[in-house]
Amino acid sequence: MDYSDPDAFTLPYQLTKQIRRDVYPLLEPTQPELSANGKTVLITGVSGGIGKIIAESWATAGASGIVITGRNIDVLESIATRLQSLAPPGTKVLAQAADITNEASVASLFTAAKDAVGKVDVLINSAGSLEGGPVGTTDPTKFFNDFQVNVLGTYLMTHYFLAQGDGTGTIISFTTAAIGNVFPGMGGYTASKLALVRIMENLHVEQPNMRVFLLMPGIVQTGMTVDSLKPYAKDSPSLSGSWTLFLSTPRAEWMRGGIVSVNWDIEEMEAHKDEIVRDDLLGRAFLNAKLGKDGHPWT
């Protein structure tokens, strides 16, 4: 691998020849096709990481209700004020601090959400943990914190989302392209994200009326970005926000249950939709698709 190449950690995971790193016309939040009018969304991890930008995308797209959560209520309330300024009049915004690894806290979050915006239509699991450290010598509590947040936390959010009762809705959970390789010092993170993929794949099969997606955000400059990857952090967090809007639309129906990357070009994917569906290239992306700098060799 040529580590001097700014795309060194993006090209190996490309399904499409076209690499996308920022919002493009199809994914502009102001596009009528991406309108979130009439939808309510709950986003985790908003007080840090890319959750704030995702929330801004939904406000710009005119969501009827936006619930944001994280651990820092002061930060959340500041973001809520920003969202209210971006959203159209009438949009309801709730900032609610919660610990997603604590069941009672998650239950209280959904109670507050119901009171504020009604039934949540879209759940975006963007909260994440990357503690870092080698397998075996890292303190066990620190190592398994990635599992607490990335697996248990996402499961609890999903459980209470389903507990709303009618078995319908959209769940978008964030994973990482790093699950396709071995990265020293990231064993807890990648293992927890790989476990999350299998849980969501099971959910897709077991809850056929639930729209389930796994989204890889590329490499974004956040507080979680490890030093070795910072030179390659070229992806806009707004691209993830726009992708979550897209996945909540009927146009993404054929991607249900799959792993998708913000770096992949949607129109190129759509041009090869039949092949992607036939060969299950999203459902088992790291087994069936031939990812790389030239994209998958389409037939």
Residue 254 belongs to a domain:
yes
Gap between the Cα atoms of 107 and 233, Å rounded = 35
Q: What is the pLDDT of residues 12-66, one digit of tens each?
A: 999 999 999 999 999 999 999 999 999 999 999 999 879 999 999 999 999 999 9
The residue range of the domain holding 228 is: 29-262
Phi, psi of 42 (to 5 degrees): -120, 125
Residue 293 belongs to a domain:
no
Gap between the Cα atoms of 172 and 131, Å rounded = 23
| Closest CA relative to residue 13, chosen from 251, 273, 219 | 219
Lookup result for tokens 């994917």 = 269
Q: Which amino acid, one-letter code, is at 192?
A: S
Residue 79 belongs to a domain:
yes
Residue 8 belongs to a domain:
no
Its sign, for the CA torsion 256, 157, 181, 263, is positive
Number of domains in the chain: 1
Gap between the Cα atoms of 206 and 201, Å rounded = 9
| Closest CA relative to residue 57, chosen from 32, 77, 81, 27 | 27
Q: Do residues 266 and 246 touch, judged by C-beta distance below 8 A?
A: yes
Residue 2 belongs to a domain:
no
Residue 272 belongs to a domain:
no
pLDDT on residue 229: 77
Q: What SS3 state is found at 137?
A: coil
For the cut 90, the answer to whether the pLDDT of residue 250 exceeds it is yes
Report the CATH number at residue 185: 3.40.50.720
**Which pLDDT band holds residue 183 (cuts at 50, 70, 90)?**
confident
Residue 19 belongs to a domain:
no
Q: Do residues 125 and 172 touch, judged by C-beta distance below 8 A?
A: yes
pLDDT on residue 284: 62
Gap between the Cα atoms of 178 and 285, Å rounded = 13
Q: What is the pLDDT of residues 133-174, one digit of tens each?
A: 999 999 999 999 999 999 999 999 999 999 998 889 999 999
Residue 13 belongs to a domain:
no
Joined together, the tokens standing for residue 107 give 């239950």
pLDDT on residue 285: 55
Per-residue DSSP letter, 264: B
pLDDT on residue 1: 65
**Which pLDDT band holds residue 287 (cuts at 50, 70, 90)?**
low
For the cut 90, the answer to whether the pLDDT of residue 221 exceeds it is no
For the cut 80, the answer to whether the pLDDT of residue 225 exceeds it is no
